[in-house]
Chain A
């Protein structure tokens, strides 16, 4: 299958190899939560709700020096093309929950909130490739909406390598093509990588190119997230009458 058209250079959805899908972020979608956000990357739609900092529910896990960060990832029954009844706690969900938790924990200033817990609940409404990245981007927005202090904005993006071309932001069809899939998460201003995952195989020099491409994608998403947060702050300020 031709994932990249050799004549025009367009991918199957009409994008160029280094083009992100259309992204959209919205704050405050779940009224009851302390912070919440909706993030869309193309057809992938994810809602994240943050509850916290609040009292630790399981006292045995309480940490006297820093906040406890917990994360749960769940996919809706209708999120993928074929409708499947998902079991809570299956291995993929547990793994992604762990990945998101570790990535966000690296950025949250947990030492400012000892003996408390912060819950990050991720709900995937539609999955079309790059779900893990969309979840991390949405979690950043939700944590900011909740006013939880963070070191930096964490963003994530995927990149792959098909038809001898590095491709940015794979959708589901490109992801299932069997080529490599590199997921990168960075702390944007500090320019540090906090998440790096890859499956399949890639020669080392090509891997560097693909990873660089993913990092560029992350930085573009970080700029967009910064704009969304700025816009939100302006609205809050005008509502306060400032």
Chain B
């Protein structure tokens, strides 16, 4: 991104203070979201989400695996994000690694719950096939193709849409030996749709000056003092929280930002659900 002059920085901050951002949006308004499902045919589920100039792809692959000893009744999910060098020249080689790790960890925190697996946005018990022996391993891969700010929200939205597009093959268990791995027959024909009603979305509130904005572009992000990313599900419950940025925040400000994020997220969930329904309808 080209550096900003003092005048431009002043313009961005002033616009935000007056509730009129550089692209004409209000402080709490999202850019237009466009959603495409099934972009990666060889994955179990996939989606591409465009938020202005930010373009991300999420793909979900399910493979058979063994559940962990600590949680024998739950499947496993791992989330990895990769920032492609096409998004920005500084992502070439290992330059994008730090940002990719940041995003992966933030998504894991918001979608997979605590270390005990409690409170996960994705229901892991639906991935179990045979307790303690066979389960589904879900690999969620995010790829950032073009970056114009607000990557976390776009990735979370892409993962939610991709999960709604995911079909887990039906498995029938053959052979009931107690010690060895049971044989499983994976169906090529029948698929179970993943239940995404509990999957949360993430809303990032960026504080610039004394006001917060939703869905910042990369220019606006360069002016931020701090940002809070809140993950909220359909029932209005908070599933995860991340604060970024060096500036300290007053606790009352933090609580206010969380409640603002909560209300904005309900709108985002409605928009995403209608996009998912439209995509499913156009598929049939």
- On A, residues with C-beta under 8 Å from B are 29-33, 36, 43, 47-49, 51, 57, 72, 74, 76-78, 81-83, 85, 88-89, 119, 121-123, 125-126
Contacts and interface: CB of A to CB of B under 8 A. Distances in A.
B84 interface: yes
Most buried by B among A72, A78, A81, A123: A78
Interface string B138-151: 01010101111000
Contacts of A126: 40-42
A31 B88 CA distance: 11
Contacts of B143: 76-78, 123, 125
A49 B91 CA distance: 12
Interface of B: 1, 39-43, 46, 53, 55, 57, 59, 61, 63, 80, 82, 84-89, 92-94, 97, 139, 141, 143, 145-148
B86 A47 contact: yes
A32 B94 contact: no
A148 B40 CA distance: 31
Contacts of A78: 40, 42-43, 46, 59, 61, 141, 143
A121 B85 CA distance: 6
Contacts of B80: 77, 85
B51 to A, nearest CB: 11
Nearest to A126: B40
Given A31-B53, A126-B41, 9 more contacts: A30-B55, A30-B86, A32-B146, A47-B145, A76-B59, A78-B40, A88-B93, A89-B93, A123-B84
Most buried by B among A30, A32, A33, A81: A32
Contacts of A47: 84, 86, 145
B89 A119 contact: yes
Given A31-B53, A78-B61, A125-B40, A72 B145 contact: no
A30 B94 contact: no
A81 B42 contact: yes
A42 B99 CA distance: 33
Q: Shortest 8 CB-CB distances between A and B: which pairs?
A: A49-B86, A31-B53, A78-B59, A121-B85, A77-B141, A83-B61, A30-B146, A123-B84
Contact of A125 (B57, B85, B147): B57
Nearest to B93: A88
Contact of B92 (A31, A76, A119, A125): A119
26 contacts: A30-B87, A30-B146, A31-B55, A31-B148, A32-B146, A43-B41, A43-B42, A48-B86, A49-B85, A51-B89, A72-B93, A74-B84, A76-B59, A76-B82, A76-B143, A78-B43, A78-B143, A83-B141, A85-B80, A89-B93, A89-B94, A119-B89, A121-B85, A122-B86, A123-B143, A126-B42
Contacts of A48: 86
Given A31-B148, A78-B61, A83-B63, A123 B141 contact: no
A43 B86 CA distance: 20
A77 B146 contact: no
Given A78-B46, A126-B40, A32 B148 contact: yes
A36 B143 CA distance: 17
A135 B228 CA distance: 39
B82 A72 contact: no
Nearest to B50: A31
Given A77-B80, A83-B61, A123 B46 contact: no
A122 B141 CA distance: 18
Nearest to A88: B94
A47 B97 CA distance: 20
A31 B59 CA distance: 22
Contacts of A82: 63
A56 to B, nearest CB: 12
A106 to B, nearest CB: 22
Nearest to A36: B86
Nearest to A30: B146
Nearest to A70: B92
A91 B61 CA distance: 25
B42 A32 contact: no
